[in-house]
A and B are shown apart, each in its own frame.
Chain A
Amino acid sequence: MNICISKGRVIDPANGLDKVTNIYISKGQIVAVGRKPPGFEVKKQINVKGQIVIPGLVDLSARIREPGEHCKANIASETRAAAIAGITTLCCPPDTTPVIDTPAVIELIHQRADQSGQAKVVCLGALTHGLQGQRLAEMYSLKEAGCVGVSNAMQAIPDTEVMSRAMEYAVTCDLTVFLQPEDPWLGGGHMHEGAYSTRMGIPPIPETAETVALARDLLLIEATGVRAHFMRLSTARSIEMIRDARKRGLPVTADVSIHQLHFTDKDTENYNSLCHVKPPFRHHSDKEQLIAGVKDGTITAICSDHQPHDHDAKTAPFSMTEPGVSALEVMLPLAIRLADDGQIGLKTIIKTMTVAPAGILGLEAGSLTPGSAADLCIFDPEKNWMVTEKNLVSEGKNTPTLGWEMKGKVTHTILNGRIVYKQ
């Protein structure tokens, strides 16, 4: 169907565009931005005056809990939540059950996502077999099956030789490795090491749990020449290290979860298990540096790091609860909040959630370039809404933003030219 989205403020960082204009869509693709192409017959006109039109969001990391953890969520529920949140592509890490270390699991996830038809789902394959950090996964076969990168997810690879060989093999397969740096021995605690952890008596996670692993991995990246992406960085020192590495020309990118830009270890006081995350919310000065890193481009992308949990998983004494935040539906509003507070420019922040993560995943997505798939997110930047368990469509209600008044609500999500969500 031929659609014209008219009178919206179109922000497309990939093409340096920010103006009020029209977008023309036909056969699932964007055919023009601005002038109506000759002979284009508008079948459906969507007037979005006062709203902002951006490329559909690309989320670098969302656990959709399928296969393996149906009690927490499933592909249908989470892709629906994604559609409501304006996310048109999401990337699923390999720590499902079974692990994404065989083509069959990738096929299953793709199939279920297609059936649901709410969002595109891509997968990271396992870097080591079973994520056990001992022998290499069949990366070539995984790539053939469609994985967009390889990762050991939150499982560390303590054996340095295994890590080095895995990187070399990834180079051979021309795959990007996605690394979440954590030293397994230093990282055994449950919250940031600081005055709050000492006061609360929670076993701490020092910043060195991240930086020691990051330093090792950077040296191995330099030695092997692998293309690498660092996931979920949390400390100020890590940002400095990435900045230095990029200055020296290392092929590395990095992301941060949207929550790390809003929360600190102080929010964990009173043992709020909704703030139990890994890596942990760190000190205020770390948060400031993460924001600075997004601003200057050291951090290339922001992701939701969506980890839906069932009620029981978060109902226990702090250390016994499972880490993670349900985040799909609050990602965009939290990003808008950073822009509204003047911390990061709106265009920059949209870039970190569209074209930048698409680039990291090697996908032709995240832009409104004519000829590309018509994946769009349209939101009303002035519309307020309240985060409540009832308002969240994701099966996971575990967010520390419960009760927050959010500004910015998605009104339309368009996937391959099809309206998958309309408010």
Chain B
Amino acid sequence: MSRKVLVLGEVRDGSLRNVSFEAIAAAKTVAEGGEVVGVLAGEAVSALGAELISYGADRVVVVEDAKLSKYTSDGFSQALLAVIDQEQPEGLVFGHTALGKDLSPRIAAKLSSGLVSDATAVEAAGGNIVFTRPIYSGKAFEKKVVTDGLIFATVRPNNIAPLEKDESRSGEVSSLSVEIKDLRAIIKEVVRKAAEGVDLSEAKVVISGGRGVKSADGFKPLKELADVLGGAVGASRGACDAEYCDYSLQIGQTGKVVTPDLYIACGISGAIQHLAGMSNSKVIVAINKDPEANIFKVADYGIVGDLFEVVPMLTEEFKKLKVHQ
């Protein structure tokens, strides 16, 4: 059964986020041969339509308004609902990002539909679209189907491979005019904290520090290593509780769940709550002074040693490797 599926293209700092291309790939599976329509909402975003098409969208609908310059659930839900009303889709896919998490339940409630949040895989099987998603922060997984109405899902960054970019693909980019009514919540100010560098949830490499990092300054060598690898810095709850870093860096059952290609745990003992947040990473490296640390049980590679010795050496070695590449 083919379906028309809408995908929200998420724009940050003027560019589309990778997760939107991953969402297009997921939407293709949900569509089962039907049309995949990209949706862009913002102020002056229509130029990005072509990129959604090059990643597999058949066409793109754009809603532009000054009130959409920053994401608000009031503004974006009005824009999205207008597009949904025009297009009458049978499927809807967003990224499971701060924006997607905030917006998708509202749209689902408005449409009285189900919503499968945080899917890490999607397949068409036995006449159903089956989503896989982590539960208990990745300690278990469930397979889920929508039994009634719209097939609506958010997809976790870094898990579903995007289609290959093909700039020869063409499709229509049309605009829909929507009168955005008053917003009930206004963003007065955005304080940038973590934005310098790579977003933790989308990073391919995460360098994470625990209590062993000992101080806020102790995160510096980790940041240097992350910069060399184009990765992001994370932390265990222990490091956050000790105020070595901001809670926004926390990885674990409370905090963020990450699935990078490479996770390097530095001075992290490996409490079960932390493992829940990172154990589904593709490759895990542990650096810890204590050979008995629990983290070694889930690590693919381990070095028993002082992170303040090992991490700078690693940074130098990776620099050499990058030079040779």
Q: Do A and B come from one complex?
A: no
B-to-A contact residues, CB < 8 Å: none
A-to-B contact residues, CB < 8 Å: none
